[in-house]
Amino acid sequence: MSSTDHESLENIGSDLSSGEKQFVTFSLEGEEYGIPILAVQGIESVPHVTHLPGVPAYVKGIINLRGIVIPLIDLRAKFSLPGKDSAHPVAIIINSEGKNTHYGIIVDAVSDVMGFTANEIQEMPAVAEKTSVIEKIGKKNNKLVMILNISLLVSSDDTIILDNALKRSSAA
């Protein structure tokens, strides 16, 4: 997947004849969020997590998923939401834009795959912060879904921290 595949929602998931854009939706603290379906590599229950020293609190650690080491980001911590212990945490594995790397985001539950037409997607309201990872709002059947910009979920600083932590853990 090239870096241009993630640059705008207009280019993502619009391969249906109806013109709908497809999103994997998930819940977090009772709210619904969505990410472009083409960015999703898989949905996994979270196995044993290896914790990494020297990483931000929202980096839960790393997992070994079929021989690939994948860093996990706890979206509750990243979004400053209260913590929640879950007996069965779920991670959505995302193909990192323009790179041959992956990361996982830990969510409360994966909800569905939803399609939105162009008329059902609107810009964030002006009161929302411009640097927010929420890029658009999907509206369908009186339901609102906050559509995330996955390129902003993990900043370049985060990538450097994760890369360094992964190098330290593999050298040990």
Percent of the chain with pLDDT over 90: 31
Its pTM stands at 0.80
Q: Walk me through the domains of the chain, giving residue ranges and CATH numbers.
A: 3-171 (2.40.50.180)
Say what the pLDDT of residue 121 is: 94
51, two tokens: 């914790």
pLDDT at 20: 87
pLDDT of amino acid 114: 94
What's the pLDDT at 65?
87
Q: Is the pLDDT of residue 131 over 70?
A: no
Q: What is the pLDDT of residue 15?
A: 47
Say yes or no to pLDDT of 11 above 50. no
Where does residue 13 fall: left (phi above 0), alpha (psi -120 to 50 degrees), or beta otherwise? left
**What is the rounded average pLDDT of the residues 156-161?**
73
Q: Is the pLDDT of residue 170 over 70?
A: no
pLDDT digits (tens, 9 = 90+) for 34-51: 999 999 989 998 878 999
What pLDDT does 34 receive? 96
State yes or no: pLDDT of 25 exceeds 80: yes
Averaged pLDDT for residues 97-105:
73
